[in-house]
Amino acid sequence: METALILMSTYNGEKFLKGQIDSILNQKDVQCDILIRDDGSKDATTDLIREAMKQYPQRLKLLEGDNEGYKRSFMNLVYKASSDYDYYAFADQDDIWLSNKVKMGIRSLTESSHTPSLYYAMMTEVDENLNKLSNQQEFKPTPNYKEIIFQNFVQGSTIIFNKALLKLVKSYKIKEEVPHDIILPILAKYCGQIIGDRNSYILYRKHASAVTVKMKNNYAKELLKEAFSDYKLTNYANILLAGYKDYIKDKYIPYLKVVKNYRKLSNKIALVNDSNVRKFSLKGTVMLKLAIIFNKLK
C-alpha cells in the first residue's frame, strides 16, 4: 500500500480538528500519517491531538512551537518531513476529506515518480455545519510560467505532491517568509509539472476563525498596499535563481533573470508591456504593473 505524510499546521483549532484528523486517517487504499505542528495554540488543541495520538498509535506526530504564523509553520513542516513516504499533502485543521481524496491525487501522480510533481484539485465550500454554500469557487487552470510567480491559484489543502518535489524543496533553505501553496506550485512549474483536477474531494469550511489565506484574496487591495506603502511583493525569481537554478528548465532562466533584475529600465518596460505578466483580474493586473513600476518587488 502506498504511503502519504499529511502536513498540518494548527492554531486554536479545537472546534473542528478531531473530525479532520479522522477523515485523514480513514482514507481508502492509502496509508496516511499526520505530522502536525501546533503554532502556539492557546486553547485545547494540543490536548485534543494527544488524545488522537492514543487512538491512532504511531500515525500522528506532534511538533509544538511558538506562534510564527501559517507561512513559517507550514514551511517548517516541509523541512521536517521524512523522506520515507511516497507522497505528501497539506491539510488545514477544520475541513473534512472525502475518503478517496488522497487516492485520487496519487492516481494522477503515479507515472511521475522521478519528476517533481504537484497535484491540486477543487474543494466544496461548506459552512460550519458542513452545509454546501450556494457560491462556489471556480477552477483555476495552471498559469503559464510568466503568470505563476505573481499568482496564488491553488488552495493549499488540495495539494498532493511526490517525493521528488519534497527533495527539491528541501535542497535549499528558503530564508524569506513564503506561503507553501505558492512556492511549491512555482517550483513544480519551473522544475517539473503540475496536474490540475476540476473535481472536489474536500469539504472546505468557511468560518470566521479560519487561519490560512483563502483563494478569494483581495488582490487589488493588497497590490495597492504594495504600490503605495512600504509593503513589498515577494520576487520569487530571486528565490528560484538563488536556490534552485540547477534544477530549473533552461528555457525559463532568461525570464527569471528579467524579473530578478526588474529595476533595470529595459526589463521594467518589458514586464509592464508583457500581457502574460498579469493577475487573474484586470484590476489586479493593473496594480501588479504599478508594483513593478514603483519598485515594490523584493
For 182-239, write each residue's pLDDT tens digit.
Answer: 999 999 999 999 999 999 999 999 876 555 544 445 655 665 555 566 768 899 999 9
CA 172 – CA 166 distance, rounded (Å): 11
CA 20 – CA 213 distance, rounded (Å): 18
Between 272 and 285, name the one with better pLDDT: 272
For 137-174, write each residue's pLDDT tens digit.
Answer: 999 999 999 999 998 999 999 999 999 999 999 999 99
Question: Is residue 110 predicted with pLDDT exceeding 80?
Answer: yes
pLDDT for 188 equals 98
107 touches 118 (CB < 8 A): no
Q: What is the mean pLDDT of residues 39-50?
A: 97
Class of domain 2-205: alpha beta
Q: What is the pTM of this model?
A: 0.92
- Cite the residue boundaries of each domain of the chain with CATH code 3.90.550.10: 2-205
Question: Is residue 243 predicted with pLDDT exceeding 60?
Answer: yes
* CA 73 to each of CA 22, 125, 181: distance values in angstroms, whole numbers, following the listed order: 22, 24, 12
Q: What is the mean pLDDT of residues 272-278?
A: 96
Q: What is the mean pLDDT of residues 23-36?
A: 98
Pairing of strands 30-39, 60-65: parallel
